[in-house]
Amino acid sequence: MRRMAMALGLGAVMLPAAVSAQARPDQQPFFTLYKELVETNTTLPTGSCTDAAAKIAARLEDAGYPARDITLFSAPDHPKEGGMVAILAGSDPSVKPILLLAHLDVVEAKREDWKRDPFKLIEDGGYYYARGAADDKSMAAIWADSLIRFRRSGYRPRRTIKLALTCGEETTYAFNGAAWLAKTKPDLIAAEFALNEGGGGRYGANGKPEVLAIQVGEKAAQNYTFATTNPGGHSSQPTADNAIYQLADALKAVQGYTFPVRFSDTTRAFFTAMAATTPAPVADAIRRLLANPDEAEAAALLARDKTFNSTLRTTCVATLVSAGHAENALPQRATANINCRIFPGETVEGTLAKLKELAGPNVTVTINAPIRPTAIPPALDPKILGPAKAVAERHFPGVPMLPLMSTGATDGIFFEAIGIPVYGVPGLFFDADGNGIHGLNERIGVKSLYEGRDYLYDLVKAYAG
């Protein structure tokens, strides 16, 4: 998952000041845990989330968690794609639990492409470099470390705290631990709400924290296939009904279509905040669109910004194309993958109907497995946003916090489908360039990691009581 706050990047930043892993005695055990997790290869299919989950479980057991409070799981046909759930029982069973969620798997990284070994945690220039250093092993390590600290300190929360570390978030066809838990073990992860990745913060051009973001809702990611077939023939005798041309016409129709503007409570709050801080004429366009979502001129102006555009509507884009079987033959088959990010409340089937309309009669449109649930936006609940802001004011005084809808996707959508609202919490700050997440030389600021750890630890205690 890409950190949501990075959608608002506005240029280069200065390097944040480094913080030694040994600056405080309690930071050394965390660093050891974090380093072990980052250096455990969890790419698929070569790595093992199951191995990483077992290492975290062993640390929890060493901290005093009984075996009954730790559940390791995997599927027989996906033995390396397992995860774990750990539970710290609260003192008041009448209060529903809180769920901490993070994914263990990471995007593939090739050593020959990276400046450094992607599976060795290296500190350089105020950053930790490695695949997963940010996405999402920073949060996984912080959650696990928090549970260890709670146990060792004797802290007894009023609300039960649950931790779910899963696999499959980064790979479409992997065994998805979050989906599996929601479907087969809903009682194990039942909670009033969940805290997940997707929020964060952004450093300004002076290297200081500029804005915090709390993710409240996300789009649903769904892939579709466009396919057209033809008897083909010799390329020396072309015909009008060429499979490639038919597919190309369908793709151009998708390119030319703009889904209608939609607002959720979160995106309305986001754009309202943007209107107060963005220069005219963009601010004027935002206000007009908030007043009337059908205001075409205002929508067209905002669509020039790719972040605004994707936040305003469902988007669909061609990402893969395959066609033909020989260079001297008319194509017998042409296919394309269409990747859609569906606005909360809109459905996979409704998007399919629109794509079929755009593709026309010569192109077959099908939904690709897996089919993700309809995105259900959580409420802008003061019980969630209030503590997040109050704790942030202590840790990052004067830094504003915005509610954001993720235009990407997280595993939170599976828990929202069974009635657990999921919020992407702030706390970890990133540079405007996204810190190499999903790309080369992924990194996280040392200062950001340790300050984020402190913030998230206090935030969980604020919610748990």
- Domain end, chosen from 336, 367, 398, is at 367
Q: Over 90: is that where the pLDDT of 409 sits?
A: no
Q: What is the mean pLDDT of residues 229-253?
A: 96
The chain-wide mean pLDDT, for the chain, equals: 94
- Domain end, chosen from 367, 391, 422, is at 367
Q: Are residues 186 and 95 in the same domain?
A: yes
Indicate the pLDDT class of residue 7, thresholds 50, 70 and 90. very low
- Domain end, chosen from 335, 351, 367, is at 367
Q: Over 80: is that where the pLDDT of 384 sits?
A: yes
Q: Are residues 140 and 76 in the same domain?
A: yes
Indicate the pLDDT class of residue 205, thresholds 50, 70 and 90. confident
Detail the DSSP E strand segments found in 151-296: 161-166, 193-196, 200-203, 209-218, 220-229, 233-234
Q: In the chain, pLDDT over 70 holds for what percent of residues?
A: 95
pLDDT of residue 438: 94
Q: Over 70: is that where the pLDDT of 160 sits?
A: yes
Indicate the number of domains in the chain. 2
Q: Phi first, then psi: what are they for 95, rounded to 5°?
A: -100, 130
pLDDT of residue 16: 40
Tell me the C-alpha distance between 139 and 200, whole Å. Answer: 11
Q: Lowest mean pLDDT: which of 38-42, 94-98, 171-175? A: 171-175
**β 200-203/429-430 pair status:** parallel
Query: How does pLDDT run across 417-458, given as a tens digit for each residue?
Result: 999 999 999 999 999 899 999 999 999 999 999 999 999 999
Which residue range(s) make up the domain with 112? 4-218+375-464
Q: Do 286 and 270 meet the contact criterion of CB atoms below 8 Å apart?
A: no
Q: How many CB atoms lie within 10 A of CB 93?
A: 10
State whether the Cα torsion 177-183-184-187 is positive or negative: positive
DSSP H helical ranges for 375-445:
382-395, 412-416
Q: Over 70: is that where the pLDDT of 14 sits?
A: no
Indicate the pLDDT class of residue 172, thresholds 50, 70 and 90. confident
pTM of the model: 0.92
pLDDT of residue 1: 56
CATH number of the domain residue 64 falls in: 3.40.630.10
Q: What is the mean pLDDT of residues 288-302?
A: 98
Q: Over 70: is that where the pLDDT of 115 sits?
A: yes
Helix (H, G, I), strand (E, B) or coil at 426: coil
Q: What is the mean pLDDT of residues 20-24?
A: 64
CATH number of the domain residue 333 falls in: 3.30.70.360
Q: Are residues 208 and 65 in the same domain?
A: yes
pLDDT of residue 317: 98
Q: Are residues 205 and 243 in the same domain?
A: no
Indicate the pLDDT class of residue 6, thresholds 50, 70 and 90. very low
Query: How does pLDDT run across 306-358, given as a tens digit for each residue?
Result: 999 999 999 999 999 999 999 999 999 999 999 999 999 999 999 999 999 99
Of 409, 391, 411, residue with least CA distance to 399? 391
Q: Are residues 203 and 234 in the same domain?
A: no
Q: Are residues 47 and 177 in the same domain?
A: yes
Tell me the C-alpha distance between 124 and 138, whole Å. Answer: 17
Q: Are residues 48 and 30 in the same domain?
A: yes
Q: Are residues 44 and 155 in the same domain?
A: yes
Tell me the C-alpha distance between 313 and 213, whole Å. Answer: 20
Q: How many CB atoms lie within 10 A of CB 378?
A: 24
Q: Are residues 273 and 405 in the same domain?
A: no
Q: Are residues 283 and 213 in the same domain?
A: no
Q: Are residues 326 and 421 in the same domain?
A: no
pLDDT of residue 408: 86
Q: Are residues 261 and 284 in the same domain?
A: yes
